[in-house]
Structure 1
């Protein structure tokens, strides 16, 4: 297929295209209406007789948002917490309880499938087997000729509505790159494979496929009980799953399959953030165990879905000494009223909003260095709520007496992690690692 055909296939499944096409239909606007409140008698129960603003859930929006506590019970911003030491353990334990991550297995055996040099980097293609699912594939990158242990960074790939790909979205291992990935790196990463770019600066970078992406994706041939038809040619000897039209079909199917996956995880007593956390911590174990890595200097970061994974991993694992969350920061209120429709099921931990606002998950890592990069015209969030999230994190780090360990920046443009943003992220890693 021609490159322009592949580009069109990618654009057909692009979340950004979807958002641009539908943004006008979900804009908050004034609405009339009335209700007779005289039927309510319980003075202690707030009444929401009319909605001044529209929301994703109609007139129920203001009521749902009112269920959020002004200060969640385990927020460090609560006056009762005087220092980090007295607050942190209880907040961490409650978050871990609700995230309910599956048990982390022992360090798996890592197979080195291939070694080579490309782009000034020594590259290893790795795999390991978790207790469930197909083997995890990963790529490790480090400067060619490095002779001493280097800081390690776990590069967390994005979502982008493309579950067929995982780690390949942020690395480049040859000149023969799939046209869909060329376009994705162009639109979302300024034409760069950011994992390569930071590895060149003196880091050992590990990027792995996580749950439901790339090598860890759900293969249609492994499913049963789904009646909306075969959408992939996987498993057929005469088919090429790498054809753009087959990738497009798989990505569309897997998007519809997300709610099935999430409901099944909830029914199993876990959450999607919990599964991410376990798999990312296994990858972190593998990175930290390497002789060419300084295990005391570990960081992580990523855009979008990678930013989401950064929130949970960096918030809950103190081994992450420096974190960069890109394009995934807002408040639970924003998700209630404005933006849940364009966010993956992978975002949500049931009941956690009672205990922490969304930014405070990442804030659990205080006083460790934390950078948040936002885009002013990001379609996935409301700018005012991104600003509120920034204010929350500023308050958390200020109260802990470490304002210098937190920074947020806002860039013009849509959802992205472009060259300028990468430069700031790389400087942050350099400063603290």
Structure 2
């Protein structure tokens, strides 16, 4: 055959045969260590976060702050911090809320790219606002490559929803690193910051992400056990049936990963910590058929650990979008008992 279809499929099938049983404790630890290596080395001597308040707004039931943090080397990251007002508890649970592709963190907090109030909700459905109204602190990082963190050459060009993912990811790959790894490491620094806040109970930190933010939520939760409960929306699938099945953003590709695991077993490394998967029936990027395969596999992983109660899922009528119909309350409940 002149095309590579059969060859690529055979490579995939061979890689599946080499995978270990990740239900075994030693195998899980080995896979986690390999995964960390594949993401690239971003470890460094921790420096001061040097938080800088950029703006503050009273939103009635909550305060919305924009804070700038030091993360890795020379990188600075803006985050939105939403803090409930009139709270009864001195310290509250906190949620790391991760946006997907689009124009960045402003989408999650109900703002247009220019900072004005957004009228329609989009596929993010202003989920950070929905969560802060339920009484938890919410922090929304501006993931690198989006919004105000696009490359300088991309700033002011094209649509606000255009991103710098390809250019950043491709250059990092040449340096033995990945864009996913960089985003994960920066999110771990955001958790460092959360733990310094007097409003936050540092033992009750959760995470939620949609689409590309679902990738970052899952990867960060795998590697950072300070995250006590995780919601993944619009991402959970199989690599074969989603990332390999169409053209996806380059930030999805981790060199060598399929030699060790498929997506469900990778996400299963979060177990036995609480995990919630939500997926839309008509999601065109992460098809329902493959999401169901992943959900079944994850359910079996939790069952094998006798922690079935810590795994939940919700299939909702909708497309590539966040739902929150069941996941928001689930996340609040898990953090309340953490």
Instruction: Say yes or no: TM over 0.5.
Output: yes
Pair 1:202-2:202 in alignment: no
1:323 equivalent among 223, 226, 230: 230
Q: Which residue of structure 1 aligns with residue 30 of structure 2?
A: 90
Which shifted more, 359-368 or 318-327? 359-368
> Residues 226-270 of structure 1: CA distance to partner in whole angstroms, max 9, x if unpaired?
xxxxxx6x5xxxxxx4xxxx551x655x4xx54332221112121
| Superposition deviation, residue 131 in structure 1 | 4.2
Report what 2:40 is aligned to.
100
Whole-angstrom distance in 2 between the partners of 1:366 and 1:301: 16
- Give the Cα–Cα distance (whole angstroms) in 2 for the partners of residues 427 and 150 of structure 1: 15
Aligned to 1:430: 332
- Between stretches 59-68 and 403-412, larger displacement belongs to 59-68
Work out the CA distance in 2 between the residues paired with 1:138 and 1:62: 41
What SS class does the counterpart of residue 54 from structure 2 fall into?
Answer: strand
Query: How far has the Cα of 1:338 moved from its partner?
Result: 1.9
1:391 equivalenced with 2:305 (yes/no): no
Q: Secondary structure at the match of 1:379?
A: coil
Match of residue 188 from structure 1: 123
Per the alignment, residue 293 of structure 1 pairs with 200
Give me the whole-angstrom Cα distance separating, in 2, the residues matched to 1:64 and 1:267. Answer: 23
**1:362 equivalent in structure 2:** 267
Match of 2:109 among 157, 171, 180: 171
Structure 2 CA distance, aligned partners of 1:429 and 1:361? Answer: 21
| Pairing 1:114–2:21 present | no
2:67 is equivalent to residue 126 of structure 1 = yes
Cα distance in 1, alignment partners of residues 289 and 12 from structure 2 = 15
Aligned partners of 1:91, 1:338: CA distance in 2, in Å? 24
Q: Is the radius of gyration larger for structure 1 or structure 2?
A: 1
Aligned length: 332
Aligned counterparts of 2:147 and 2:161: Cα–Cα separation in 1: 11
Pairing of 1:230-245 with structure 2 (within 5 A): 234=155, 241=156
Superposition deviation, residue 128 in structure 1: 1.7
Equivalent pair of 1:107/1:282 in contact (CA under 8 Å): no
Aligned equivalent of 1:153, options 95, 104, 113: 95
Gaps of 5+ in 1: 1-34, 36-49, 52-56, 221-231, 235-240
Q: Distance in 1 between matches of 2:6 and 2:60?
A: 55
Give 1:373's aligned residue: 278
Does the 8 A contact of 2:72 with 2:186 survive in 1? no
More strand by share: 2
Which one is further off, 111-120 or 281-290? 111-120
User: Which structure 2 residues correspond to residues 194-343 of structure 1 after superposition, within 5 A?
Assistant: 194-220=127-153, 234=155, 241=156, 246-248=157-159, 251-252=161-162, 254=163, 258-335=165-242, 338-339=245-246, 341=247, 343=248
Is 1:66 aligned to residue 1 of structure 2? no
Asked if structure 1 preserves the Cα contact closer than 8 Å seen for 2:61 and 2:84, the reply is yes
Cα displacement string for residues 64-89 of structure 1 (whole angstroms, at most 9, x for unaligned residues) = 3323314623x424xxx2xx4x4432
Structure with greater proportional helix content? 1
Three-state SS of the structure 2 residue aligned to 1:262 is helix
In angstroms, what is the RMSD of aligned CA positions?
2.5
Deviation at 1:382, TM superposition (A): 3.0
TM-score for both structures, normalised by structure 2:
0.89
Normalising to structure 1: TM-score of the pair?
Answer: 0.71
In 2 relative to 1, CA 336–277 (structure 1 residues): closer, same or farther, beyond 3 Å?
A: closer
Give the secondary-structure state (helix, strand or coil) at the position aligned to 2:80.
Answer: strand
Structure 1 stretches (4+) deviating beyond 6 angstroms? none
Contact kept in structure 2, 1:143 and 1:199, CA below 8 Å:
yes
**What is the rounded CA distance, in whole Å, between the counterparts of 2:53 and 2:214 in structure 1?**
28
Q: Which runs of 5+ in 2 are unaligned?
A: none
CA distance in 1, matches of 2:176, 2:115: 39
CA contact (8 A) 2:236 2:277 kept: yes
Are 1:321 and 1:369, in contact at CA under 8 Å, matched by a contact in 2? yes
Which one of 400, 403, 407 corresponds to residue 308 of structure 2? 403
